[in-house]
């Protein structure tokens, strides 16, 4: 399974989990109950994931893993600079995701090169984190969980759902992206309707966070209690 996601370059985070052959590893060695958390660009996945983390739930987050493998002064970042040039860095010496996004969106060969470079490192980090989980359940945060057919790794799928209008508005405000670019990213993902078909549970997150936070906290608490029970039932 080799795939590259436009999602990282759209959300300025590399969220390509790239779990090559991890299904066999995971199914054979892992007992924690897995809740896959997914949603489109601008849906607020991080907000929801953080609410679960506040309850002590461990996260295996593809965004976090992918950021670490290209951290400042890392070997992989050095290879990226060697390939694309120093203009791919910020003044602080970190990866300029906006610049890299522009490059790979318009050059398929660069996209493939980048994918081949990062694939093994992300794969190993993800495998390690999954193997270390001992909690009753783990939140597996993957924006392209459905698109890249990783649903089989999950016992249950939680979708953070917002309207396409909300996606556009939030993403433009957050990342200073233009609407055309955001729309391209959205078009590369499954539709809202398709994503909901896979959902066992749904959290609607269209409302502004300041108004919606108490509701989100309550919803997450209810799901947390439910997932704990499901995990207990699985391991009886």
Longest dimension (CA), the chain: 55
Task: Take residue 106 and report the two structure tokens written for it.
Answer: 């318009």
pLDDT at 216 over 90: yes
Please state the rounded mean pLDDT for residues 186-194.
90
pLDDT for the residue 29 = 52
Burial class (CB in 10 A: 0-12, 13-18, 19+), 64: middle
Query: What does the mean pLDDT of the chain come to?
Result: 84
Structural domains of the chain, with CATH: 6-234 (3.40.50.300)
Place of tokens 């590259």: 4
Kindly indicate the confidence band of residue 206, based on its pLDDT and cuts at 50, 70 and 90: very high
pTM as predicted: 0.80
Task: Take residue 61 and report the two structure tokens written for it.
Answer: 């987050």
Please state the rounded mean pLDDT for residues 85-98.
93
pLDDT for the residue 137 = 95
Alpha-helical regions (H) of 95-158 = 97-106, 108-132
Place of tokens 């309207």: 163
pLDDT for the residue 204 = 96
Q: Which of 220, 205, 223, 210 is nearest to 39 (CA)?
A: 205
State pLDDT tens for residues 127-155: 788 778 999 999 999 888 898 778 888 99
User: Any idea what DSSP says for residue 41?
Assistant: T
Kindly indicate the confidence band of residue 22, based on its pLDDT and cuts at 50, 70 and 90: very low
Measured CA to CA, the distance from residue 224 to residue 59 in angstroms comes to 13
Measured CA to CA, the distance from residue 112 to residue 4 in angstroms comes to 7
């Amino acid at each position: 399974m080799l795939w590259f996601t436009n999602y990282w370059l759209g959300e300025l985070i590399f969220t390509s989990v790239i779990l090559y052959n991890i299904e066999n590893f995971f199914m054979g060695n892992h007992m924690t109950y897995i809740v896959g958390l997914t949603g489109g660009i601008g849906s607020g996945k991080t907000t929801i994931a953080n609410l679960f983390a506040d309850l002590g739930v461990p996260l295996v987050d593809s965004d976090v893993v992918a950021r670490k493998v290209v951290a400042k002064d890392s070997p992989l970042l050095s290879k990226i600079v060697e390939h694309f040039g120093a203009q791919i860095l910020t003044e602080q010496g970190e990866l300029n995701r906006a610049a890299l996004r522009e490059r790979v969106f318009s050059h398929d060969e660069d996209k493939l090169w980048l994918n081949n470079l990062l694939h093994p490192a992300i794969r190993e980090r993800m495998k390690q984190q999954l193997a270390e989980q001992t909690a009753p359940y783990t939140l597996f945060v993957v924006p392209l969980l459905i698109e890249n057919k990783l649903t089989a790794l999950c016992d249950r799928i939680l979708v953070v759902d917002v309207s396409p209008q909300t996606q556009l508005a939030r993403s433009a405000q957050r990342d200073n992206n233009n609407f055309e670019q955001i729309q391209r990213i959205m078009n590369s993902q499954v539709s809202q309707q398709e994503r909901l078909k896979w959902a066992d549970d749904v959290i609607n997150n269209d409302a502004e966070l300041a108004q919606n936070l108490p509701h989100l906290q309550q919803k997450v608490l209810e799901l947390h209690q439910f997932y704990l029970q499901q995990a207990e039932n699985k391991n009886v």
